[in-house]
Amino acid sequence: MKPIKITVNDLMQKGYVYERTEPVGENFDTDFKPQLTPWEMLKLGVFGGVYMRDCTDEFPKEWFKDAKFAPLGSDEHVAELNYFGVNASQPLSVWLAKGWIHPDDPRGWFQWYCRYYMGRRHSDDVRQIKRWKAMVRHVAQIKKNCRVGDDTCHTKQRQALMHWAYDSRKM
């Protein structure tokens, strides 16, 4: 595949340039097997509807057509927009304080995943995939403590897993 150069100009990045070197949704690391695509996550409801509303030029338009977003201009997290109707997010300030944010992806893991899904490969991939794999501990807790398909059991953990591309509706 011929590399595709992307220039980002949104509220958090101006003039950031990267290349997409892999086909969309293909050639993932063998240890990385997300159960939801970024489009599915946005459509189901994640991050209280306040995440990536200004990134519509960087990603396919269809990702945003049915996305559950809070009204533009609002920075308020709307838990009801999340699939499980609960807030399972921590503020960006917490992520920054813990050192979880790479400067190239100032919005965090989901931004990294969207770009990875679209074909960008990056020096931060190994760390981000390791973080994604660490979420499996929450999968184990849901499987141990909840009946399959009981969307009322451990809703915060289920929503958090959905934020990390695990399809917790099927657990």
Q: What is the pLDDT along the chain (171 residues), one digit of tens a residue?
A: 899 999 999 999 999 999 999 999 999 999 999 999 999 999 999 988 888 888 889 999 999 999 998 876 667 788 999 999 999 988 888 888 998 899 999 999 999 999 999 999 999 999 999 999 999 999 999 999 999 989 999 999 999 999 999 999 989
Query: Within 13 Å and on the Cβ side, how many CA atoms surround 103?
Result: 3
Burial label, 137 (beta-carbon count in 10 A; 0-12, 13-18, 19+): exposed
- What DSSP character marks residue 134? H
Alpha helices, DSSP H, located in the chain: 38-44, 62-65, 92-97, 109-118, 125-134, 136-145, 155-163
What's the confidence (pLDDT) of residue 73? 65
pTM value is 0.94
- b/e map 104-122, b = 16+ CB within 10 Å: bbbbbbbbbbbbbbbbbbb
What's the confidence (pLDDT) of residue 29? 98
